[in-house]
Amino acid sequence: MLCVIGCGIAGYLAYLEITPSHAICGPIGHCQSVQQSDYARLFGILPIGFLGVAGYVAIIITWLIGRTGYYKWADLAGLVFLGMTIPGILFSIYLTFLEPFVIGATCIWCLSSAILMTILAQFSVAPGKLAFTHLRTKSSSFQPKLAA
């Protein structure tokens, strides 16, 4: 559910970045200033909102694969889930730092996405640890047969 909300937020931000629409920001922040800044596009090309949508969709797919129950893929999905949320939260921290200190404005939508990614990262720790434990015990029990 968190990823669906994240997709909605990131989709809205992507829409704002590619259209001349003005952000509905409410009483907190200056979303339009953030959306029009140089930091609204990755490498000046890819709107950050599209990157967010892609990230949330990838996390949903990984979560679904992890829920299949097939051990090899479920374990790998647990590690990938953790591996996607950690860079996601680090990138969110970077963008959140830029808002007040570089851009001089704050976007409530961006902060909401950062909070969602933080919660997802917390939820990814247990499956990631479990997957790591499963994969480590499977690899340590592997004994190759030696030719006589």
- What is the value of pTM for the model shown? 0.80
CB 147 within 8 A of CB 30: no
Convert the pLDDT of each residue in 97-113 to its tens digit. Answer: 998 899 888 888 888 99
Overall size of the chain counted in residues: 148
Q: List, for residues 51-63, the tens digit of each pLDDT value.
A: 999 999 999 888 8
> Which tokens is 82 given?
């953790």
